[in-house]
Amino acid sequence: MLATRIGLDEALDATRTGDLWLFRGRKIADRAIQVSTNSPVNHVGMAVVIDDLPPLMWHAELGRSLEDLWSGAHQRGAQLHDLRSAVTQWAHRYGQRAWLRQLDHPVTREMEDAVLETIARLDGTPFPSTTRLALRWLWGHTPRFGQDATEPEDPEMAYCAEIVAITFEEMGLLTGERRTSGYDPGSFWSGDVLGLRQGVVLGREIAVDVPAADPSGAAPPHARS
What are the sequence ranges of the domains in the chain? 5-210
Q: 5-210 — its CATH code?
A: 3.90.1720.10
CA 209/CA 55 separation, integer angstroms? 17
Average pLDDT over residues 54-69: 95
Predicted local distance difference test score (pLDDT) of residue 218: 53
**Is the per-residue pLDDT at 11 higher than 70?**
yes
Residue pLDDT, tens place only, 85-141: 999 999 999 999 999 999 999 999 999 999 999 999 999 999 865 656 666 656 666
Predicted local distance difference test score (pLDDT) of residue 147: 44
pLDDT band for position 155 (cuts 50, 70, 90):
confident
Higher pLDDT, 204 or 219: 204
Q: Which helix (H) or strand (E) holds 83?
A: helix 83-92
Predicted local distance difference test score (pLDDT) of residue 137: 59
How is 87-144 classified by DSSP, letter by letter?
HHHHHHTS--EEEEE-EES---HHHHHHHHHHHHHHTTPPPPPHHHHHHHHHHTTSPP
Percent of the chain exceeding pLDDT 70 equals 76
Average model confidence (pLDDT) across the chain? 85
Nearest of 169, 166, 164 to residue 22 by alpha carbon: 164
Predicted local distance difference test score (pLDDT) of residue 40: 76
Residue pLDDT, tens place only, 168-191: 999 999 998 888 888 989 999 998
Q: How many CB atoms lie within 10 A of CB 116?
A: 14
Q: Could you tell me which residues come within 8 angstroms of residue 172 by beta carbon, excluding any fewer than 6 positions away?
A: 111, 114, 197
